[in-house]
Amino acid sequence: MVTGQGGCKPGKPYNFNKIPFNTNDKLASDRFYHTLNPKITNNKHLQLETSVALRDEFYKGKDFNKSTSSTFNIYSGCKIKYAFTKNSEFNLIVSELILYSGDEIEEYGGENPYSRYSLGTKCVLYRSDNDKNIVGLWGQLAFSNKEQFNIYPELKILLFKELFQSINFTSNIGGAFITRNTVSITYSIELKFFLTKKLELIVENYTDYIHLNSIGKPANRLLSGFGIYVRENFYMYMTYEKGIVKSDYLNKGKIDLGLAFRF
């Protein structure tokens, strides 16, 4: 009887008060051309982010009206981030249209057809206790890939708030100056629901009010997807994005696959 009682081990009690996911302990990743998180990578650390975008795009003429024909294109992006201090980091971004059909898509397609290389920075302006409320500023200088060298500045204000232990809210507002008659104003909101310790659900609304040659063509898009933290320094995500308004050339949808790794 004594031997039998000794071999019976009590089960480990479950902690119902345990937080399902602590975002402060994991790396902060920015998905390309979407809502940016004001959090920066760890001080004196290098972070690499890369993505591939698969999308059907409608052809657009000189007046930026959408036609009935479309083509399948693949974009790639790579971002290198390094934090010099606790509240600031440096960004180097390279974006490429690696598969396209027709010169018209090469000229008008993509999130920013005017640039291929970008230098930027992100800094934290305000940080509350436990990083539950953060205000940041992000800016970049995009370099033209055309024959004539041009620089296009872009600036965004970044807001982050922890609504609940498992729900985070992030918002961006800003714009890019391309030419005197071409100014892009963007606004986005993002919700992240942490389903488990490693898995998150992403929901985002992205709006781009752009002024092109005195013709306003706003784009309003919805995005949803999943992100997974393979390790605390390794993150992967997959999202699906679709235009809402009929004039958007992304009505057939877009799939983004990306990862981030912190060294």
The domain in which residue 249 lies consists of 31-262
Structural domain contains residue 14: no
Structural domain contains residue 6: no
Q: Look up the pTM and report it.
A: 0.80
* pLDDT (tens digit per residue) in 109-143: 444 444 578 899 999 999 998 889 999 999 999 88
* pLDDT (tens digit per residue) in 82-95: 999 999 999 999 88
pLDDT attached to residue 37: 93
Longest dimension (CA), the chain: 90
Residues of the chain below pLDDT 70 = 1-25, 57-70, 100-115, 144-148, 211-218, 247-251
State the total domains in the chain: 1
Q: The tokens 């397609």 sit on which residue?
A: 109
pLDDT attached to residue 182: 73
Specify the CATH number for the domain of residue 105. 2.40.160.40
- Residue 204 corresponds to which tokens in the numbers above? 């985002």
Buried b (16+ CB within 10 A) or exposed e, 5-24: eeeeeeeeeeeeeeeebebe
pLDDT attached to residue 106: 43
Structural domain contains residue 182: yes
Question: Distance of CA 97 to CAs 25, 111, 114, 121, Å?
Answer: 34, 10, 12, 23
Structural domain contains residue 69: yes
Structural domain contains residue 50: yes
* pLDDT (tens digit per residue) in 195-207: 998 999 999 998 8
